[in-house]
A and B are shown apart, each in its own frame.
Chain A
Amino acid sequence: MVNLMLLAPEITILVTGLIVLLAGLFLSAQSKKIVGYIAILGCVVAMLLTISSFGTTAVMFSNSLSIDALSQFFKIVFLTVTTLVCIASVKYTDGNDHADEYYVLVLFATIGMMMVASANDLMVLFVAFELASLATYGLAGFEKKNPASIEASMKYFIIGSLSAALLLLGIGYVYGATGTTNIEGIAQNIDLLLNSPMGILSLVLLIAGFGFKIALVPFHMWAPDTYQGAPSLVSALLAAGSKKMGIIAAFKVFIGALIALQADWQIAFAILAVLTMTYGNIVALSQTSVKRMLAYSSLAQAGYITMAFVVMTPMALTGGILYALSHGFMKAGAFIATAAVVYMVTSENKDILNADHLDNFKGLGRRMPITALSMTVFVFALSGIPPTAGYMSKFILFSSTIQSGLVWLAVIAILNSALSLYYYARVVRYMYAKPTDGDRVSEPLPYVIALLLAVAGVLVIGIWPEPFVSMAMEAASVLI
């Protein structure tokens, strides 16, 4: 008997999505604000349901879905990001006739991500992956009158479709060799894939497929353009949520199913991790668009998380998993802060291009004190200054490399981390040390609430990490 209560979070989000969809038909543009509140409520309820059932294990629907600490941890990550994005979106979609569609897409993307986290079968994983992707393609192009947004969506769609094709091809090869799409089934029949060219071929295709979603160099080309062009809050969802979907999928496929091919994919991930973090950090140094800078910084962060695949100890996986949660708070927060600035700039001057230019952050400490302070916390957290979530995650992840004797990797990661401080500190300098002639502006309440929640998350994980660390350890123990 299937215990549907374990799927309650997904069902809640689905029902909320359908309610929003229906309500949208009957509401006028002015009263569409209410769908935002419904979406937030749905997310919060789903999150509470997930947290309350944390630690239960179950397999359902003919072994195609598995509920365990790992999947639940990532569901918490996705729901956190979605909640933050929805809260901030209340202001962004205010008075927009398409607000209902926006929230429906956000919620459906979230269901896709949550199903990926639970998938125990490559077909389920692929379908859920595509659900999330299709919804986010639409979201990236939400600003229909803004050419940059359309470009972002188009680029994301074309490259995303290509990567989906590669992923499917990779899954096809695995299925062809092992005769099953079930993750445990593949792990049992892995000897059919070992030492065969088909094994290598499927690894290449799978790494490319997931690499697109995680935005690992050299599969990252879409990310900076998409993050820059898409509405900032959608970029928050992409960078903080959808990227983690790629990571959990890669955890499941590589560590869950293809662990026997470890020697082959580990070296690939080592190269990709080093390339991604170094490239991301170096290119971020010269960006003047804050969204683009955050996009490259998010490449670098994905590079750090990828180190977990290289080290592959329980400690490293704990670090990687905790990093996913921390990054959710930090990156979503940073994009929401940028969204608040973009909102302020565009409401002053409608036709402005480059609303996220660094110059618009000048004197923000005086103009928008809460936004500026939150942004400071986020960028310092991203660069790993204690006592923040970013430091805590880096602490565990980087220290695990020393534990396994991979000193070279630790040194590269640490040099990268120091390099990143330059561009993060520059944002802070613009906000606090550059004079401006702009006046104090009132900060929209939804943005402020979302920012303060994200700041609270970043600081709580940094100052009292014990519950999060033990949850991440439990999640990591599912894998190893």
Chain B
Amino acid sequence: MLPILSLIVLIPILFSAVTFFTKTKEQARISALVGTLITLVLTMYMYFSFDSTSAAMQFEEAANWIPSLGITYHLGVDGVSMPLILLNAIVIPLLIIYTWNDVRAAPNRFYALILAMQGAVIGVFVSLDFFLFYVFWELTLVPLFFMVNIWGGANKKHAAIKFFIYTHVASLVMLLGIFGLYYNAWSLNGVPNMDMAYLIGQFQFLESEIARDAIFLALLFGFIVKTPVVPFHSWLPDAYSEAPTAGSVLFILLKIGGYGLFRVMLPMLPFTATPSLMITIMGALGAISIIYGAFLALAQKDLKRMIAYSSISHMGYVTLGAAGLVSLSISGAMFQQFSHGLIMSIMFMSCGVIQTKTGTSIINNLGGLAQKMPKLTVIMVLGFMASLGLPGLTGFIAEFLVLTFSFINMPIYVIIALLAIVITAAYHLWALQRAMFGTFNEKLGDIVDISSYQAFSMGVIALLVVYFGWHPSPVLDMMITNSEHIVSLMAVMGV
């Protein structure tokens, strides 16, 4: 059988190398588009032959890699990772089309980095060996570091290094947790093994309660910094807003933090020494992120920073839903990851257009853009509505599931989160009103609407937001299958 998972990781990386050595912009963007389209075709093939009623790993590949350390090359997908792979495979070719006519220095490097990023992110989602997982996890840092550093905004130097070091520290703390799991299983069974499912399964046999909690918290720290969750979010606003538009979208597609919660943290949760404390920590951090992110978004003067903070607020639903521990709240959290990736891509793309056409993203300096940019306005309003949770769009389904079903286990946090909904609606509508509607700000000069390339890629994403908003089951079914599986594992332990 075709080693399809290896291919969807290796093809982007291979094309990244090819793109790097292209000479002209024309060659670079075509090479990048071809690479991502091949990945998309393979992913679609995989998606359509995927069995969404099974919670088991599918398309598994395994081979020995470093036998003396028990490290294997083990890949597989299930309902947790499949939608996220799909998200990356769909949005990245559209991102390349979006940047088709952009003028920038060194386009070959730019597209090579996008492809490298795609390979690394998909690599994280398909890895079933902790060593491999960590390799891809760290690799995602490098393209983004360059992306912000080379094509970023005025404050790029600070933003890039802050992001790089902050998240690197978090990864290293996570690595300590992985070491803990690894040696625990090694001393129990006498053989080294880095397989994720195996190590997570052996976690419960670790005798020391302090060690179990310490390992859990170390891993949790690694994941929630990446998610990110308040109070470990401070790298995000700088990085998201200083990055070029493509970089911001890549940041958005980097759903590895939330993925780690489902893949690693939830199966381990029942076996910590103090599960209820851990649930409280996760739930509280989720609720705080939702409301704190919303308040900060309300206070922003810059449209891009506002979107960045709104992203923190939205990712809070992922943490909250995961801590909800009901299969539908977990599915809602997973769906939020998928939906958030689509919606935020539209929002950052819109903001990117505004920034390039008007030269500013300060909300007060804009005004009445709808008159000059009708096409952009339609798509952008749809994106904003989806983001604030309008029924019929994906954001609503995710947030509805999370809030409704988390209420069973943690009503207080849900009530706190509900307060944020009003604020969320306020900052979205207020920003739209000031930037897009009202009288046109004549100082902005003559402005043209978005190009057809940009309209195409943003339009496709917008259609997906509508489609999955009405008909979420193509991705939601597999999420539910897997979250039921996770919950049933926990029920065995009586949590």
Enumerate chain A interface residues (CB-CB to B < 8 A). 380, 385-387, 391, 395-396, 398-399, 402-403, 407, 410-411, 414-415, 417-418, 421-422, 425-426, 428-429, 432-433, 464-466, 469-470, 473
Measured CB to CB, the closest approach of chain B to A390, in angstroms, equals 12
Could you say which residues of chain B place their CB within 8 Å of the CB of A411? 176
Bound-state CA distance A470–B165 (Å) is 32
Q: Kindly report which residue of chain B lies nearest to residue A462, judged by CB atoms.
A: B135
Cross-interface CB contact of B179 among A399, A432, A466, cutoff 8 Å: A399
Cross-interface CB contact of A414 among B69, B135, B172, B182, cutoff 8 Å: B172
Q: Are B149 and A433 in contact (CB under 8 A)?
A: yes
A–B complex contacts, Cβ < 8 Å, 25 sampled: A380-B142, A385-B142, A386-B134, A386-B139, A395-B175, A398-B179, A399-B183, A407-B176, A407-B214, A410-B179, A414-B176, A418-B165, A418-B172, A421-B164, A425-B145, A425-B165, A428-B145, A429-B157, A429-B161, A432-B149, A432-B150, A433-B149, A433-B150, A466-B65, A466-B66
Cross-interface CB contact of A433 among B156, B173, B187, cutoff 8 Å: B156
Could you say which residues of chain B place their CB within 8 Å of the CB of A396? 69
Given A386-B134, A466-B68, A470-B68, A429 and B176 touching (CB < 8 A)?
no
Q: Kindly report which residue of chain A lies nearest to residue B134, judged by CB atoms.
A: A386
Measured CB to CB, the closest approach of chain B to A396, in angstroms, equals 7
Q: How large is the interface on B (under 10, 10 to 19, 20 to 34, 35 or more residues)?
A: 35 or more
Bound-state CA distance A402–B186 (Å) is 12
Bound-state CA distance A223–B131 (Å) is 35
Interface string of B41-75 (1 = CB under 8 A from A): 00000000000000000000000011111000000
Cross-interface CB contact of B139 among A387, A398, A422, A425, cutoff 8 Å: A387
Given A399-B183, A422-B165, A417 and B172 touching (CB < 8 A)?
yes
Measured CB to CB, the closest approach of chain B to A416, in angstroms, equals 10
Is the C-beta of B180 less than 8 angstroms from some C-beta in chain A?
yes
Enumerate chain B interface residues (CB-CB to A < 8 A). 65-69, 131, 134-135, 138-139, 141-142, 145-146, 149-150, 156-157, 160-161, 164-165, 168-169, 172-173, 175-176, 179-180, 182-183, 186-187, 214
Given A385-B142, A386-B139, A421-B164, A402 and B183 touching (CB < 8 A)?
yes
Bound-state CA distance A469–B182 (Å) is 17
Could you say which residues of chain B place their CB within 8 Å of the CB of A465? 66
Q: Kindly report which residue of chain A lies nearest to residue B149, judged by CB atoms.
A: A433
Given A411-B176, A414-B176, A466-B65, A425 and B164 touching (CB < 8 A)?
yes
Q: Are A414 and B175 in contact (CB under 8 A)?
A: yes
Q: Kindly report which residue of chain B lies nearest to residue A373, judged by CB atoms.
A: B20
Could you say which residues of chain A place their CB within 8 Å of the CB of B161? 422, 425-426, 429
Given A385-B141, A386-B139, A470-B68, A402 and B180 touching (CB < 8 A)?
yes
Could you say which residues of chain B place their CB within 8 Å of the CB of A426? 161
12 other A-B residue contacts (CB within 8 Å) besides A402-B176, A428-B146, A466-B65: A380-B142, A385-B142, A386-B135, A395-B175, A403-B179, A403-B187, A410-B176, A418-B169, A425-B165, A428-B145, A433-B150, A466-B66
Could you say which residues of chain B place their CB within 8 Å of the CB of A407? 176, 214
Q: Kindly report which residue of chain A lies nearest to residue B145, judged by CB atoms.
A: A425
| Chain A-chain B contacts (Cβ-Cβ < 8 Å), number | 81
Q: Kindly report which residue of chain B lies nearest to residue A433, judged by CB atoms.
A: B149
Q: Are B65 and A386 in contact (CB under 8 A)?
A: no
Could you say which residues of chain B place their CB within 8 Å of the CB of A469? 66, 68-69
Could you say which residues of chain A place their CB within 8 Å of the CB of B180? 402
Could you say which residues of chain A place their CB within 8 Å of the CB of B156? 433
Bound-state CA distance A451–B66 (Å) is 26
Q: Are A387 and B135 in contact (CB under 8 A)?
A: yes
Bound-state CA distance A212–B68 (Å) is 34
Bound-state CA distance A266–B68 (Å) is 27
Given A385-B141, A387-B139, A403-B183, A473 and B173 touching (CB < 8 A)?
no
Q: Which of B146, B149, B175 has the most CB of A within 10 A?
A: B175
Q: Are B150 and A418 in contact (CB under 8 A)?
A: no
Bound-state CA distance A425–B169 (Å) is 14
Cross-interface CB contact of B138 among A386, A399, A410, A415, cutoff 8 Å: A386
Q: Kindly report which residue of chain A lies nearest to residue B172, judged by CB atoms.
A: A414
Q: Are B165 and A421 in contact (CB under 8 A)?
A: yes
Could you say which residues of chain A place their CB within 8 Å of the CB of B179? 398-399, 402-403, 410
Q: Which of B68, B180, B182 has the most CB of A within 10 A?
A: B68
Bound-state CA distance A473–B70 (Å) is 14
Q: Are B138 and A391 in contact (CB under 8 A)?
A: yes
Bound-state CA distance A425–B168 (Å) is 12
Bound-state CA distance A411–B221 (Å) is 14
Q: Are A429 and B172 in contact (CB under 8 A)?
A: no
Q: Kindly report which residue of chain A lies nearest to residue B170, judged by CB atoms.
A: A418
Measured CB to CB, the closest approach of chain A to B20, in angstroms, equals 9
Could you say which residues of chain A place their CB within 8 Å of the CB of B157? 429, 433
Could you say which residues of chain A place their CB within 8 Å of the CB of B169? 414-415, 418
Measured CB to CB, the closest approach of chain A to B25, in angstroms, equals 16
Could you say which residues of chain A place their CB within 8 Å of the CB of B69? 396, 469
Bound-state CA distance A316–B149 (Å) is 36
Could you say which residues of chain B place their CB within 8 Å of the CB of A395? 131, 175
Bound-state CA distance A398–B175 (Å) is 10
Bound-state CA distance A307–B28 (Å) is 46
Measured CB to CB, the closest approach of chain B to A21, in angstroms, equals 43
Could you say which residues of chain A place their CB within 8 Å of the CB of B142? 380, 385
Q: Kindly report which residue of chain A lies nearest to residue B187, judged by CB atoms.
A: A403
Could you say which residues of chain A place their CB within 8 Å of the CB of B176? 402, 407, 410-411, 414
Q: Kindly report which residue of chain B lies nearest to residue A413, judged by CB atoms.
A: B172
Q: Which of B134, B139, B168 has the most CB of A within 10 A?
A: B168
